[in-house]
């Protein structure tokens, strides 16, 4: 005879699988489900805030570097480790996040990572030596690495299947807007306070996020704790990803493979990558479960994510350099120009997230990529005399395009994964996007100098001493300078310098034009990978959901 406690009810309400309350009464499954998702928006705010802090800190220090150099007595090459150390630590931890989350438990791992990030932020701001600042930036990067993939995996479980797109839209806004507002926020803080405050600002926001995570985030129901620690896998991962990131960070400055050191980093990355694959595919409990890439849709989505990172970070890197370097704008002015595009991206993601059930990534991603290409084409037509109004619609188009890509692509990429595979899947997706972004920045920096040199040489062929047009231009500049009080000899020298600066400026404009088009075409080149998708529906809406 069955025990009354074990009895299942199939009457009104359909409570077939429920929990047992303290009175021994059966709790309806629907009530359990409602309770499970009760704090979904609070969880989304907490983990997205943590992810935004991590992403902002990737770029916020760039505008403070001159101040740090003066305060700490460091060279440009030395101070660059403040950024490089953080990013290397970051990308090493991202693919390990799934394993670490399972080993420590999601709540403890995420809360602990945020508090580590907060503590390191305090010590970064309080640092009185270059060595101390770099050390705590590496620790900050180790704490921040958990805040991307773990946050995204958390949101997949925090929302009901039909509302997954809403959670991913909130996360996507942070991922897309964070790198954009970092330099602007950093510029404002440095101009009005001092450089340590770019780190201190993390403390109250981080403590708030940690409290919210500890209060509302729970361990994953599907996460399995490893019984062993894959020490060799961790070491090979650190060598592979760390060497690759270091190579990308230093390649342009050291002339790429003309440098023996950069070549050594490249060889180390390739060899450790091969050994890592061999190791992770042959042990029972790997630190990175590469077997999930057998899922064709995940593998294709992860590859598209790399192209997305390349296009996003490449264009984010180029635009501020264009505005500040050629137009003399401040970080705050640059931020105000970029802001409408960021708001357009946020609005589009919110709209897409709300309607994720009706959208197919195989349709929205090509539309978004086309809008992004249009934006890059429009930016490529800017001239030396273009103003802020000329950038408004191209940047709004870019924001809308990215909004149409991120949420549907993420949802469709993870659509066929089992719940216990989500953490690994989001880790790989975030890793490839970050590495794609690093590659985009590295290639953009290299090509910017090369394209500028090529364009200058081409333009110089038409600026010949003695040519009527050149003589007329120099005479006009000389007369204008003499009219302002300069003597004839000084005016002539200044006129030559002005002509040289104009030539360099025009060459730079042509170089930026080519880079914008490269970003747009790179994203378009990834679209054939969508043919590998069995379904473009987000997780919870595709065939796997039925």
Amino acid 282: pLDDT:
82
The string of DSSP codes covering 458-485 is HHHTT--TT-HHHHHHHHHHHHHHHHTT
Q: Could you tell me if 130 and 240 lie in one domain?
A: no
Element (H, E) at 421: none
Alpha-carbon Rg for the chain, nearest whole angstrom, is: 26
What's residue 382's pLDDT?
A: 80
> Which residues, other chains included, contact 11 with Cβ-Cβ below 8 Å and sequence gap of 6+?
none
pLDDT value of residue 9: 39
Please check whether residues 233 and 161 belong to one and the same domain: no
Residues composing the chain? 546
Identify whether residues 307 and 435 lie together within a single domain.
yes
Shared-domain flag, residues 369 and 308: yes
Tell me if 156 is assigned to some domain. Answer: yes
- Asked whether residue 516 is assigned to any structural domain, the reply reads yes
Residues 180 and 260 in one domain: no
20: which strand partners? 26
C-alpha to C-alpha distance for 297 and 531, rounded to whole angstroms? 9
List the CATH number of the domain containing 128: 1.20.1250.20
pLDDT for position 1: 41
In Å, how far are 307, 315, 481, 487 from 484, measured between CA atoms? 52, 41, 5, 9
Residue 9 lies in a domain: no
Dist CA 52 CA 173 (whole Å): 9
Does the residue 168 lie in any domain?
yes
Q: What pLDDT does residue 28 have?
A: 47
SS3 at position 19? strand
Q: Is residue 470 part of a domain?
A: yes
Within a domain: residue 8?
no
Compute the CA torsion angle 307, 313, 319, 325 (nearest 10 deg). -130
Query: 467 lies in which domain range?
Result: 453-505
* pLDDT value for 123: 93
Beta partners for 19?
27
Residues 247 and 307 in one domain: no
225, 259, 274 - which closes a domain: 225
Of 192, 208, 225, which one is at a domain's C-terminal end?
225
Residues 256 and 357 in one domain: no
DSSP H/E element including 217? none
On whether both 233 and 311 belong to a single domain, the answer is no
Residue 20, helix vs strand vs coil: strand
Per-residue model confidence (pLDDT) at position 374: 94
Residue 27 main-chain phi, psi, to 5 deg: -95, 130
pLDDT at residue 5, as a whole number: 40
Q: Residue 368 has what DSSP assignment? A: H
Q: What are phi and psi of 61, to 5 degrees?
A: -75, -20
pLDDT on residue 116 = 93
CB neighbours of residue 473 within 10 Å: 16
Confidence (pLDDT) at 8: 38
How distant, in Å, are the alpha carbons of 277, 335, 348, 441, 527 from that of 339? 42, 6, 14, 21, 28
- Note whether residue 22 is domain-resident: no
Give phi and psi for 228, each to the nearest 5: -125, 165
In order of 249, 418, 461, the CA distances from 511 in angstroms are 21, 46, 17
Asked if residue 367 belongs to a domain, the reply is yes
Do 157 and 262 have their domain in common? no
Return the H-helix or E-strand segment holding 37: none
Structure confidence at residue 256 (pLDDT): 80
Q: How many domains does the chain have?
A: 4
Mean pLDDT (10-residue bins), the chain, 546 residues: 40 41 47 64 86 80 74 73 80 82 84 92 88 90 83 80 77 73 75 84 90 84 69 84 80 78 89 87 79 88 90 77 72 75 84 81 93 92 77 89 88 83 83 83 80 78 65 70 72 71 75 87 92 76 46
Task: Show the DSSP H helices in 386-537 as ranges.
Answer: 392-413, 422-460, 468-483, 488-525
Same-domain status, 425 and 459: no
Residues 201 and 240 in one domain: no
Burial class of 290 by CB neighbour count within 10 A (0 to 12, 13 to 18, 19+): middle
Distance, CA of 473 to chain centre: 46
**Same domain assignment for residues 217 and 251:** no
């Amino acid at each position: 005879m069955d025990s009354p406690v074990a009895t299942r009810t199939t009457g009104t309400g359909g409570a077939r699988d429920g929990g047992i309350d303290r009175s021994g009464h059966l709790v309806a499954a629907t009530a359990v489900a409602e309770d499970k998702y009760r704090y979904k928006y609070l969880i989304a705010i907490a983990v997205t805030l943590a992810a935004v802090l991590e992403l902002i800190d990737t770029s916020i220090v760039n505008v403070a570097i001159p101040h740090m150099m003066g305060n700490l007595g460091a060279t440009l090459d030395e101070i660059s480790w403040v950024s490089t150390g953080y990013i290397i630590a970051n990308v090493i931890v991202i693919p390990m996040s799934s394993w670490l989350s399972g080993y420590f438990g999601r709540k403890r791992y995420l809360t602990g990572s945020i508090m580590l990030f907060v503590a390191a932020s305090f010590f970064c701001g309080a640092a009185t030596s270059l060595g101390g600042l770099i050390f705590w930036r590496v620790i900050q990067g180790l704490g921040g690495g958990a805040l991307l993939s773990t946050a995204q995996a958390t949101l997949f479980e925090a929302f009901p299947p039909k509302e997954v797109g809403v959670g991913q839209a909130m996360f996507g806004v942070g991922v897309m807007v964070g790198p954009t507002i970092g330099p602007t926020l950093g510029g404002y803080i440095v101009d009005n306070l001092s450089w340590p405050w770019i780190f201190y600002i993390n403390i109250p926001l981080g403590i708030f996020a940690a409290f919210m995570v500890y209060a509302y985030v729970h361990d994953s129901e599907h996460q399995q704790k490893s019984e062993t620690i894959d020490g060799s896998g961790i070491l090979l991962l650190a060598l592979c990803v760390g060497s690759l990131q270091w190579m990308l960070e230093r390649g342009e400055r050291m002339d790429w493979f003309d440098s023996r050191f950069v070549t050594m980093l490249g060889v180390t990355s390739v060899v450790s990558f091969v050994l890592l694959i061999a190791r992770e595919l042959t042990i029972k409990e790997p630190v990175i479960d590469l077997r999930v890439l057998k899922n064709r849709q995940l593998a294709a989505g992860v590859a598209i994510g790399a192209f997305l990172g390349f296009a996003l970070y490449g264009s984010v890197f180029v635009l501020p350099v264009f505005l500040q370097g050629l137009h003399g704008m401040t970080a705050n002015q640059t931020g105000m120009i970029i802001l409408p595009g960021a708001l357009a991206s946020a609005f589009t993601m919110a709209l897409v997230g709300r309607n994720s059930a009706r959208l197919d990534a195989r349709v929205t991603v090509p539309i978004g990529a086309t809008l992004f290409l249009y934006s890059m084409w429009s930016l490529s037509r800017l001239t030396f005399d273009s103003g802020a109004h000329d950038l408004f619609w191209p940047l709004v188009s870019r924001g809308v395009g990215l909004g149409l890509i991120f949420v549907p692509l993420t949802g469709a990429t993870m659509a066929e994964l089992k719940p216990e595979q989500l953490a690994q899947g989001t880790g790989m997706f975030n890793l490839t996007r970050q590495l794609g972004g690093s590659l985009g920045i590295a290639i953009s920096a290299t090509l910017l100098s090369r394209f500028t040199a090529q364009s200058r040489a081409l333009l110089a062929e038409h600026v010949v001493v003695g040519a009527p047009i050149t003589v007329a231009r120099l005479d006009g500049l000389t007369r204008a300078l003499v009219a302002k009080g300069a003597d004839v000899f000084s005016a002539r020298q200044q006129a030559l310098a002005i002509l040289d600066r104009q030539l360099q400026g025009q060459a730079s404009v042509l170089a930026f034009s080519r880079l914008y088009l490269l970003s747009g075409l790179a994203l378009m080149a990834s679209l054939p990978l969508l043919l590998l998708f069995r379904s473009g529906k987000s997780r919870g809406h595709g065939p796997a959901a039925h």
